[in-house]
Amino acid sequence: MNDARYRYSRGKIVSPLPARAFIQHEWLGRLELSTREEVVKIARQLERETDDESLLIRMITEGRYFDAPCDDPDREEKSPAATRQIRALLLGTDTGLASVSPVAPQGPPAWLIRDVWEAGTFPQLSGNSKAGKSEVCLDVIRTLVDPSHLFLGRFERGDINPLELECGVVYLNMENPPNAIEEALKPLEAVPFEFSDGTVGSARDLVTVYHLRETLGGPSAFDPRDPDKFEAWRRVLTGCDECDGEDNWGPFAVIADNGTAVLRALSENIQEHIGEWFEALRRLLAEIDTPQGIGVAHATMDGKNALGGTISSAASDGEWTYSRRGTSGAAPRFFAISPRLGPVPPLPETRVTRDADGRLRLSGAPRSTAVTTGAEEAYEGSEEVPASPDSEHEAAVLELLRAAGSEGLGKTEVTGRGNVGSQRRAALVALEERGLVVTRSKGRRTHYRAVEFVSDTTSTGSDTP
């Protein structure tokens, strides 16, 4: 038997009902519900009411609410917040939130990419300009649709249901040349995929790319904060079979690359509004029943923090960073994961290199020299394997810097002078390019430190990528 305290729908509780309600209308009179049974009776009547202008509806929506019967001289009017709550409970207009129930423990995590991306979550990817965030996005996509591919050469795909994957992965490309993106996705054409209707296609068929700059007027076209654009993208991203309003489905995952381009195109302050953009993107994914996605944005110049700081990351389920140390195209890249509570383990900044086949790989992952299509051996270690110096001069430089610790050394202190000095200067440059040595301004001088001592310093100054 249903409990009279609650409103029910298909046998499930969707909202509680107030224990009593005392309402007075300036010309309709008063409605006094002194018992729960009277409240339930009115609530049932309201559920059947179809005329928004009926006297009962007007009494509930326009009346004033009190804490006692109208003939009680000590009665007091309810606060605006309490009035809104009782009115919403009687009308059933709060059922969208009231129907949200605590989530029961789900057991072992479901992975999209093991130890990186948990199913049903929304991480944020940030990095400084031109670091290669889009390449990371494309590597994510390839991992999702190609079971033989390892993300960054280390992390294998999770157990993804092929029926769910058939809904496809959407990549919103705001800035990159379409030809470059299509070329990067071309290897997926060689990966077969059998659809549930028996037809055989390729993994490339699972990926839909929207090139906003060339086809949709630019990045500003994807601004889900705008109600009209939100609705337009809801329609674009939603698929259906019978299209009767009952069988809509959204993509398996959406990767939006990137929000900074959107706000820049709209001439808005990125620091102030990037958090709003992320929240709107997540609302859009919830609206189209897409369980997971990635939002991309730029980071500060050092590549360690997303623009907008904690405001921008508030809507995400953890932050991935992909940054470069230096301004040249050959500057070393680093990947890191800062998760929220959950099964994803943190990953400290780890060097990313590129193989001869063009694949991105975390330092310490097995390296390949040719394009392969079979499953690759997974990385077994749990810690980064630092790169080794390539010469005795590099080894000597590293030994000196490690002995100096977080204080570091000036260039001459490291290299000395003469012929050996020139060789050590070349070694110092090579170590800096590979990310094993970083520089730090100290007054007018530049000090060099081994990378493992960068986080140990407590003195003022800034590390130069």
The pLDDT confidence band at residue 341, using thresholds 50, 70 and 90, is confident
More confident residue, 128 or 315: 128
Q: One-letter amino acid identity for 228?
A: D
What tens digit of pLDDT does each residue of 45-91 get?
887 777 777 898 999 999 999 999 988 999 999 888 788 878 888 88
The pLDDT confidence band at residue 3, using thresholds 50, 70 and 90, is low
314: how many CB neighbours lie within 10 A of its CB? 12
Are 140 and 157 in contact by the 8 Å Cβ rule? The answer is no
Q: Is 256 helix (H, G, I), strand (E, B) or coil?
A: strand
Residues 6+ apart with CB under 8 A from 461: 440, 441, 442
State the DSSP string of 302-314. Answer: TSSSBTTHHHHHT
pLDDT of residue 24: 93
Average pLDDT over residues 30-47: 86
Task: Look up the CATH number of domain 111-362.
Answer: 3.40.50.300
pLDDT tops 70 at residue 370: no
pLDDT of residue 11: 44
The pLDDT confidence band at residue 214, using thresholds 50, 70 and 90, is confident
Cis ω for the linkage preceding 269 (within 30 of 0): no
CA angle centred on 180, ends 176 and 184, rounded to 5°? 120
pLDDT of residue 124: 94
Burial of residue 28 (CB within 10 Å: 0-12, 13-18, 19+) is: middle
pLDDT tops 90 at residue 154: yes
The pLDDT confidence band at residue 306, using thresholds 50, 70 and 90, is low
Are 337 and 297 in contact by the 8 Å Cβ rule? The answer is no
73: how many CB neighbours lie within 10 A of its CB? 5
pLDDT of residue 246: 57
What tens digit of pLDDT does each residue of 413-434 get?
888 776 667 788 888 888 877 7
**DSSP state at residue 464:** E
pLDDT of residue 139: 97
Burial of residue 228 (CB within 10 Å: 0-12, 13-18, 19+) is: exposed
The pLDDT confidence band at residue 375, using thresholds 50, 70 and 90, is very low
User: Which segments within 189-328 are labelled E, that is strand?
Assistant: 192-194, 200-202, 207-211, 253-257, 292-298, 318-324
What is the average pLDDT value for the chain, to the nearest integer? 80
State the DSSP string of 27-88. Answer: TTEEEEE-SHHHHHHHHHHHHH---TTSHHHHHHHHSEEESS-TT-TT--BPPHHHHHHHHH
What tens digit of pLDDT does each residue of 263-304 get?
989 998 888 888 899 999 999 999 899 999 999 998 876 656
The pLDDT confidence band at residue 449, using thresholds 50, 70 and 90, is confident
What tens digit of pLDDT does each residue of 228-269 get?
999 889 888 988 665 555 567 899 999 999 899 999 899 988
The domain locations on the chain are 6-98, 111-362, 392-464
Q: Is 325 helix (H, G, I), strand (E, B) or coil?
A: coil
pLDDT of residue 395: 82
The pLDDT confidence band at residue 117, using thresholds 50, 70 and 90, is very high
Crossing angle for the helix pair 392-404 and 418-433, to the nearest 10 degrees: 80
CA angle centred on 266, ends 261 and 267, rounded to 5°? 95
Average pLDDT over residues 90-100: 58
Average pLDDT over residues 26-34: 91
pLDDT of residue 458: 34
pLDDT tops 60 at residue 384: no
pLDDT of residue 253: 97
pLDDT tops 60 at residue 389: no
What tens digit of pLDDT does each residue of 320-329 get?
999 888 776 7
* pTM (2 d.p.): 0.61
| C-alpha distances in Å from residue 202, one per residue of 121, 142, 190, 241 | 26, 12, 7, 21
Q: One-letter amino acid identity for 367?
A: R
Q: In what order do the strands lie in the sheet with 29-33?
A: 29-33, 21-25, 64-66
Topology of the domain comprising 392-464: Arc Repressor Mutant, subunit A (1.10.10)
Among 131-140, 146-155, 194-203, 443-452, the minimum mean pLDDT is found in 443-452
Separation of alpha carbons 310 and 306, rounded Å: 8
Are 297 and 274 in contact by the 8 Å Cβ rule? The answer is yes
Q: One-letter amino acid identity for 312?
A: S
Pairing state between β 192-194 and 200-202: antiparallel
Torsion of CA 211, 215, 219, 225, to 10 degrees: -100
Maximum Cα–Cα distance for the chain, whole Å?
A: 103
pLDDT tops 60 at residue 136: yes
Phi, psi of 322 (to 5 degrees): -135, 110
The pLDDT confidence band at residue 442, using thresholds 50, 70 and 90, is low
Residue indicated by tokens 């009593």: 20
Are 256 and 294 in contact by the 8 Å Cβ rule? The answer is yes
More confident residue, 401 or 294: 294
